[in-house]
Amino acid sequence: MSKQNTLVALAAMIVVQVCLLVGMVALAAKPLYTGQEVRVATLPIDPRSLFRGNYARLNYDFSSLPKNALAEHKRLRNGEPVYVALKAGDKGLYEYAGVTLEKPESGVFIRGRLQNRYNRQRVKYGIEAWFAPKQEALRLERELRDGAVAVLMIDSSGKAALKEIVTED
């Protein structure tokens, strides 16, 4: 292989890797630009991690499924994709309205992955952490104790992105 061919192959590999990275970032940000705004109540958990930085960990009432929500499905695997339907409730906040293994044809729904642990069915959506500078994360930790609203952007496939956290007045 000539030196010129080697350089062309190396440049092509670099371009492909850069395109993959840009594509990953674009897919992660897609709901922020194409999604529907949905506001949900949050429940605080633990605020900091030595390795991941300063953040507030969030939980939602629809993160834990009702006891027999998926009882008709016998062999659910850990990490199984599920679609949780949301409906507008009090104060314009969305709340749990049902769960299915198939993507709904219409309505507001969020896609997550089932986490079966200790006979509890929990769902992870990828919106469980809000990263912030240290002082903001500490302030947010205090304010989350009194309740807050997470503003989500959910696209047509159910993928969600956390847009902001608004503390209740």
Mean pLDDT per 10-residue segment, the chain (169 residues): 87 95 86 79 60 72 80 75 89 88 90 78 85 74 76 88 77
What is the structure's pLDDT at 169? 52
- Let me know whether 22 and 100 are in one domain: no
Q: What is the pLDDT of residue 112?
A: 92
Q: Quickly count: other Cβ atoms within 10 Å of residue 132's Cβ.
A: 18
Res 117: pLDDT: 63
Q: Which domain holds residue 48?
A: 35-167
Q: Could you tell me if 2 and 69 lie in one domain?
A: no
pLDDT value of position 51: 60
Do 131 and 102 lie in a common domain? Answer: yes
The verdict on 28 and 102 lying in the same domain is no
Cα separation of 103 and 47, whole Å?
33
**DSSP 3-state of 3:** helix
* Same domain, yes or no: 44 and 113: yes
Q: In what order do the strands lie in the sheet with 94-100?
A: 94-100, 81-88, 108-117, 120-124
Residues 28 and 52 in one domain: no
- Report residue 68 as tokens: 């027999």
Task: Tally the domains of the chain.
Answer: 2
Structure tokens at 79: 């990490």
pLDDT at 111: 93
Q: What is the pLDDT of residue 43?
A: 66
Q: Say if residue 99 is in the same domain as residue 127.
A: yes
Query: Is the same domain home to 30 and 43?
Result: no
20 and 47 together in one domain: no
76 and 56 part of one domain: yes
Query: Do residues 157 and 111 touch, judged by C-beta distance below 8 A?
Result: yes
* pLDDT of 20: 94
| pLDDT score, position 63 | 87
Nearest alpha-carbon partner for 120 in 161, 162, 59:
59
